[in-house]
Amino acid sequence: MDFALLWLGLLLPLVAALDFGYHHQEEMEAFLKDVAQNYSSITHLHSIGKSVKGRHLWVLVVGRSPKEHRIGIPEFKYVANMHGDETVGRELLLHLIDYLVTNDGKDPEITNLINSTRIHIMPTMNPDGFEAVRKPDCFYTNGRENNNFYDLNRNFPDAFEFNNVSRQPETVAIMEWLKTETFVLSANLHGGALVASYPFDNGVAATGSSYSRSLTPDDDVFEYLANTYASRNLNMRKGDQCKNKMNFPNGVTNGYSWYPLKGGMQDYNYIWAQCFEITLELSCCKYPREEKLPFFWDSNKASLIEYIKQVHLGVKGQVFDYKGNPLPNVIVEVQDRRHICPYKTNKFGEYYLLLLPGSYTLNVTVPGHEPHLTKVIIPKKSQDFSALKKDILFPLRGKLDSILVSNPPCPMIPLYSTLPSHSAATKPSLFLFLVTLFHILLK
């Protein structure tokens, strides 16, 4: 009999503090506050705003310096439950938090990750929607939208067409949050399908819409990122797991090829916030029974961790003037992959560019001065918890004033107004249109 007690005693410390069940706002807050208190040196809990009904939008940050950015440490984020009735991601992120904090200093991979990365985790972007679901349903419930009946994944500015919607408090909170950190990589967790979907979600002929797709200049990186997630999730990578839904080879798809949408969050992140974001659809059933949650955690844990590590792809560094002062607001881009809104150094003069191994030319430009071109070779094994580090000395002649004043803000909406717009010829095919009708309520 003492054996049983002994075993229990040995096992208890290993048992996660968090149970597998749905955590409503109050329980979720209690858990997050507990974590922030018990692991105060590596976590920082803060609210980025409030929902329509006044619920806090919590973000827990995990990192060696959780309260503030440190030079060279990239910022990563996960956001779940923006559709309040897509619930798996919400619980997965709570378990991810539990897993990260309890394995720090124990598991070398997690310790390295926490040492090298600042990880921002937002378990719910739509707490009102989650609480509004009266009867959990696999397909659709009122909880998808926020409390003003807006779909938050249609509520962002759109670069391809004018998105005339009233910006909701949850959306505004995210837009403001994105300005406060230099986020590099992100994923947005949904349910109702099993696929990793990458930008763009909207498009025009110039991005490939005549071929029923819409690709970014960083498409190689995005496909790699989506595959990194999908290939570690046994069901997702099979590609056709949800009955009557589309077949996704290897469990990945371009967002627009699946179906176009306007005002989505991933396009907004990539275009306006210099942050690569993909959309993860994690369960055929949007709101599964809670007995299924351990299965979802087991099948997503490796993917969730491996995806965070990808924030260390490519190259990073600071841009300095000849006196060694860091230069903010300098455009640093790879030649031939220019962004709609040019990616610029932050206030510490830092840049982060996610790139696969290969040889690239960086174009470093201070508006009003000659561009400075410099070669960089990203080695094959370049991501041992750090991107290749390359600081750049900008050979600046003359005055610096022009960059200290920040350049005109990018968003001229729509950014593609001068390009050929949607027309009959560039609309997706009838087949895609029908697919759209059936799938409009997923991502």
Ligand X SMILES: *[C@@H]1O[C@H](CO)[C@@H](O)[C@H](O)[C@H]1NC(C)=O
- Residues annotated catalytic, as ranges: 281
**CA quadruple 74, 75, 78, 82: dihedral sign:** negative
Between CA 74 and CA 274 the distance in angstroms is 12
Q: Which of 75, 86, 181, 201 binds Zn ion (CB under 5 A)?
A: 86
> Which of residues 127 and 208 has its CB atom nearest to Zn ion in the complex?
127
> Which of residues 324 and 409 has its CB atom nearest to ligand X in the complex?
409
Q: Which of 69, 154, 190, 309 binds Zn ion (CB under 5 A)?
A: 190
Q: How far is the CB of 190 from Zn ion (least distance, A)?
A: 3
Contact 251, 284 (CB under 8 A): no
Q: SS3 of 87, please?
A: coil
Q: Which of 34, 68, 370, 384 binds ligand X (CB under 6 A)?
A: 34
Between CA 121 and CA 295 the distance in angstroms is 21
Helix (H) or strand (E) holding 404: helix 401-404
371 is a contact residue toward ligand X (CB under 6 A): yes
> Which of residues 42 and 189 has its CB atom nearest to ligand X in the complex?
42
151 is a contact residue toward Zn ion (CB under 5 A): no
> Which of residues 71 and 440 has its CB atom nearest to Zn ion in the complex?
440
Q: How far is the CB of 16 from ligand X (least distance, A)?
A: 9
Between CA 307 and CA 309 the distance in angstroms is 5
Helical ranges in 19-159 per DSSP H:
25-38, 88-103, 108-116, 127-132
Residue 266's φ and ψ, nearest 5 degrees, are: -70, -40
- Residue 370: left (phi > 0), alpha (psi -120 to 50), or beta? beta
- Unique residue bearing structure tokens 């598991």: 107
> Which of residues 244 and 359 has its CB atom nearest to Zn ion in the complex?
244
Q: Which of 22, 28, 35, 378 binds ligand X (CB under 6 A)?
A: 35
359 is a contact residue toward ligand X (CB under 6 A): no
List Cβ neighbours of 184 (8 Å cut-off, separation of 6 or more): 74, 75, 76, 274, 275, 276, 311, 352, 354
* Span 141-200, contacts to ligand X by CB under 6 A: 162, 164
Please report, as a single letter, which amino acid is at residue 214. Answer: S
Q: Which of 6, 8, 17, 234 binds ligand X (CB under 6 A)?
A: 17
Tell how strand 193-198 and strand 75-80 pair up.
unpaired
> Which of residues 406 and 429 has its CB atom nearest to ligand X in the complex?
406
Helix (H) or strand (E) holding 302: helix 293-309
83 binds, among ligand X, Zn ion, none (CB under 5 to 8 A by kind): Zn ion
Q: How far is the CB of 9 from Zn ion (least distance, A)?
A: 43
151 binds, among Zn ion, ligand X, none (CB under 5 to 8 A by kind): none
365 binds, among Zn ion, ligand X, none (CB under 5 to 8 A by kind): ligand X
Q: How far is the CB of 361 from ligand X (least distance, A)?
A: 8
| DSSP string for residues in 165-206 | -PPPHHHHHHHHHHHHS-EEEEEEEE-SEEEEEES-SS--GG
> Which of residues 35 and 204 has its CB atom nearest to ligand X in the complex?
35
> Which of residues 35 and 305 has its CB atom nearest to ligand X in the complex?
35
**Residue least distant from Zn ion (Cβ):** 190
Stretch that binds ligand X, among 186-194, 296-304, 363-371, 393-401 (CB under 6 A): 363-371
Contact 443, 279 (CB under 8 A): yes
* Span 73-132, contacts to ligand X by CB under 6 A: 108, 111-112, 115
Q: How far is the CB of 203 from ligand X (least distance, A)?
A: 20
* Span 297-356, contacts to ligand X by CB under 6 A: 331, 335, 342
Q: In the numeric block, which tokens belong to residue 229?
A: 């997630």
Contact 154, 411 (CB under 8 A): no
How far, in Å, are 49, 83, 89, 124, 132 from residue 53 at the CA level? 11, 16, 22, 14, 11
286 is a contact residue toward Zn ion (CB under 5 A): no
Between CA 24 and CA 258 the distance in angstroms is 32
370 is a contact residue toward ligand X (CB under 6 A): no
331 binds, among Zn ion, ligand X, none (CB under 5 to 8 A by kind): ligand X
90 is a contact residue toward Zn ion (CB under 5 A): no
Q: Which residues bind Zn ion (CB under 5 A)?
A: 83, 86, 190
Q: Which residues bind ligand X (CB under 6 A)?
A: 17, 31, 34-35, 38, 64, 108, 111-112, 115, 162, 164, 331, 335, 342, 363, 365, 371
